[in-house]
Structure formats: C-alpha cells, structure tokens
Amino acid sequence: MKKSKITFEIELDENYLPQNIQLNSSDGQLKNLDIKSFFISAWDTKTKETLRIDLWTKEMMVNEMLIMYHQTLVSMASSLEKATTENNLADALRDYCAFFAEQSGIIKSKEQKED
C-alpha cells in the first residue's frame, strides 16, 4: 500500500509565534504552498476525544479568519450529511453558518440588503 505524508513547515519568530507556514505532501501534489492558517482535528480512538491543532500566522487578518471559520463549518455540514445521512443535523449546522456569516459581516443581513 502506497503512503503519503503531509507536512507543515512552521517558521517561528523570536517569541515562538508562527511567522510563515508551508504545506507539502510527499506525493508532490503540494509543494511549498504558503498558508496563513490551518485547523487539524483528529479522533483519538483510545480516549474517544478530538485532538486539535489551530495555528495561524500574524499575517492572518481577522476577516480572513472569520471567512475560514465559515467555510470550514459549511464544509463540515456537507461532510456530516455525506458520512451519516443526518440531513436534519447538517441543515441545522447550515442554518448556524448563515447566522454566523451575518453576525460576522461576511454577508449582509436581510435588513442591510433592504436599505
């Protein structure tokens, strides 16, 4: 069975804060891709808990982070629906995503559109 590795190279500043992040894969599909942020969630089968790494550079603007959170939540709703056929839960998450987008200013609310 063929294996592939995904690696993150993180350059830290003098205060150990991420300055630059590069994403690579051993199969060559990703080569020195500059990224500002990433989230990793993994399921620990022994403890039955989610392990997480959330990391972003100083260059990541708050608005970009809000967009990233929104897009991540929307993709999680789709993944949930595909993996479990829990359509009602996926739709509830999508409803929250719409609320999040309005509250964060990513999209204009219905009231703002009418003005």
Whether 60 has a pLDDT exceeding 80, the answer reads yes
Rounded Cα gap, residues 41 and 75, in angstroms: 14
Report the pLDDT value the prediction gives residue 93, as an integer from 0 to 100: 98
Rounded Cα gap, residues 49 and 24, in angstroms: 27
Token pair, residue 6, equals: 């995904």
Q: What is the pLDDT of residues 25-52, one digit of tens each?
A: 999 899 999 999 999 999 999 999 999 9
Q: What is the pLDDT of residues 72-110, one digit of tens each?
A: 999 999 999 999 999 999 999 999 999 999 999 998 766
Domain boundaries, the chain: 1-59, 61-103
Report the pLDDT value the prediction gives residue 110, as an integer from 0 to 100: 64
Query: What is the value of pTM for the model shown?
Result: 0.84
Total H helices, total E strands in the chain = 3, 5
- The SS3 call for residue 86 is coil
Report the pLDDT value the prediction gives residue 12, as an integer from 0 to 100: 96
